[in-house]
Amino acid sequence: MKIFKFGGASVKDAEGVKNVTSVLEKVGFRDTLIVVSAMGKTTNALEVIIKNYFEKSSQLHPSVQEVRKYHNQILQDLFTDEDHEAYFTVNAHFDDLEYFLRSNKSPNYNFVYDQIVSYGEIISTTIVSYYLNERGIKNTWLDVRNFIKTDTTYRDANVNWEQTQNLINKKIEKDELYITQGFLGSDSNNFTTTLGREGSDYTAAIFAYCLNAESVTIWKDVPGVLNADPRYFEETALLNQISYREAIELAFYGASVIHPKTLQPLQNKEIPLFVKSFINPLLPGTSVSKGADLEPQLPCYIIKKNQLLLSLSSLDFSFIMEEHISEIFALFHEHKLKVNLIQNSAISFSVCIEDKFHNFPDVKEILEQKFKIAFHENVSLYTIRHFDANATQIVETNKTVLLKQISRETLQIITKE
């Protein structure tokens, strides 16, 4: 079986949904499972609903209606008959969302987040599934929450692999076409969980691992894995082939084209990964597979924006020792602060962290009781794999360098614009 993943950009409007159909007609869809993300920026719009639910109740209904309107326009562009079943099913999903907003009693932000944000994927796959059937591409819609089982770590759930594999192998049959949601799972009480932002790639890898898939293809709006993000670098080059190891390194450092969790299950079973263009689906794209000789022969640039550079030093000029570092990391873990770079000296300890859950103020208050603190907000972390002098100059030009760290193959630079 082949696994295809289509992200939000590929289904952002009716033309995108039609193009997905065209891609399947060109490359084939027999014995395939398709994973689809929420449409366009729907996840962001649902996050506004969540914010309004907790903070601005007067704006809650209008924000829900905005998401309804967006999807209804896509329905109208795809199905001229407004009595089509797709309208009723999508409206039923929105009714379920509004019922949850009225009836929920849990004050747990992360729990509420997962229950609400999941509707993006549920609704997008519903629309795509109906349209494929309309175009004669018979498919079976699956609720991924009945297959991927997780713990209760809402917003960043851990997969129960044994239970997930049993459920997938019991229900998925060969030679069929299936469509399901990325990013989602469910816990032992069948409450929705999510696998972390941009987790649809990971969903594709989970199904591939459990089904011993032939391959995974991630369909993007770029021709494959590039050596730099074209949003930030003028000149980019396609990496035709890279190893699992190199792809894992790139993903670890923040390359947005592949989700960091995606590669390990694929590598464990040596399932090839392809990154291809949904604009030009017959082009070869990038292949990721086993092979130490598949290292890029040019610098690869990765940038992470909106980082926080935190420096800690002891109040009495004593050494920062292992017990201090252990305590600091336990605090980061508890508050879900992701550490992207570490540098320490005898009396200071610096980290570049990502505060995606906005927990740093609480952590800062705790740390200030034991350490002297200095920090820079909104810094950028540049990582250059296979760096050279020219690549370093490209990154450093017209920027203030706050920290630089060099290893054999990788250079990391923290800058303030």
**Domain-located, residue 278:** no
Do 83 and 201 lie in one domain? The reply is yes
Contact 213, 2 (CB under 8 A): yes
Q: At what angle do helices 161-171 and 200-211 cross, to 10 degrees?
A: 70
Whether residue 199 is annotated as binding a ligand: the answer is no
Whether residue 8 is annotated as binding a ligand: the answer is yes
**Domain-located, residue 224:** no
- Cα 220 to Cα 5: distance, rounded to the nearest angstrom: 9
The total number of structural domains that make up the chain: 2
Report the CATH number that the domain containing residue 322 is assigned in CATH.
3.30.2130.10
**Domain-located, residue 230:** no
Whether residue 191 is annotated as binding a ligand: the answer is no
- pLDDT in the model for residue 255: 81
- The residue among 357, 314, 350, 313 whose CA lies nearest residue 334 is 357
- pLDDT in the model for residue 293: 65
**Domain-located, residue 58:** yes
Whether residue 6 is annotated as binding a ligand: the answer is yes
Report the CATH number that the domain containing residue 57 is assigned in CATH.
3.40.1160.10
Whether residue 7 is annotated as binding a ligand: the answer is yes
Do 183 and 329 lie in one domain? The reply is no
From residue 317, alpha-carbon distances to 96, 348, 349 in Å are 58, 9, 12
- pLDDT in the model for residue 397: 94
Last residue within a domain, chosen from 161, 186, 213: 213
Do 208 and 336 lie in one domain? The reply is no
Do 142 and 43 lie in one domain? The reply is yes
- The residue among 349, 350, 406 whose CA lies nearest residue 382 is 406
- pLDDT in the model for residue 292: 60
- The residue among 227, 261, 236, 223 whose CA lies nearest residue 384 is 227
Whether residue 262 is annotated as binding a ligand: the answer is no
- Cα 308 to Cα 305: distance, rounded to the nearest angstrom: 9
Do 182 and 310 lie in one domain? The reply is no
Q: Report how far Cα 255 is from the mean position of its chain's Cα atoms.
A: 11
- pLDDT in the model for residue 283: 96
- Cα 169 to Cα 249: distance, rounded to the nearest angstrom: 31
- pLDDT in the model for residue 204: 97
Contact 337, 375 (CB under 8 A): no
**Domain-located, residue 378:** yes
**Domain-located, residue 288:** no
Do 207 and 60 lie in one domain? The reply is yes
**Domain-located, residue 396:** yes
Helix or strand (DSSP H, E) at 141 = strand 140-141
In one letter, which amino acid is 282? L
Do 207 and 304 lie in one domain? The reply is no
Domain housing 97:
2-213
- pLDDT in the model for residue 301: 96
Do 176 and 309 lie in one domain? The reply is no
Whether residue 231 is annotated as binding a ligand: the answer is yes
- Cα 326 to Cα 337: distance, rounded to the nearest angstrom: 14
- The residue among 255, 273, 256 whose CA lies nearest residue 264 is 273
Helix or strand (DSSP H, E) at 70 = helix 60-78
Per-residue pLDDT of the chain (417 residues; tens, 9 = 90+): 999 999 999 999 999 999 999 999 999 999 999 999 999 999 999 999 999 999 999 999 999 999 999 999 999 999 999 999 999 999 999 999 999 999 999 999 999 999 999 999 999 999 999 999 999 999 999 999 999 999 999 999 999 999 999 999 999 999 999 999 999 999 999 999 999 877 899 999 999 999 999 999 999 998 999 999 988 998 899 999 999 989 988 888 988 778 778 999 999 999 999 999 999 999 999 999 987 666 678 999 999 999 999 999 988 878 888 888 999 999 999 999 999 999 988 788 999 999 988 999 999 999 999 999 999 999 999 999 999 999 999 999 999 999 999 999 999 999 998
Residue 359 tokens read as 């927990």
Last residue within a domain, chosen from 197, 213, 229: 213
**Domain-located, residue 279:** no
Do 333 and 186 lie in one domain? The reply is no
pTM above 0.95, yes or no: no
Do 167 and 68 lie in one domain? The reply is yes
Last residue within a domain, chosen from 213, 229, 250: 213
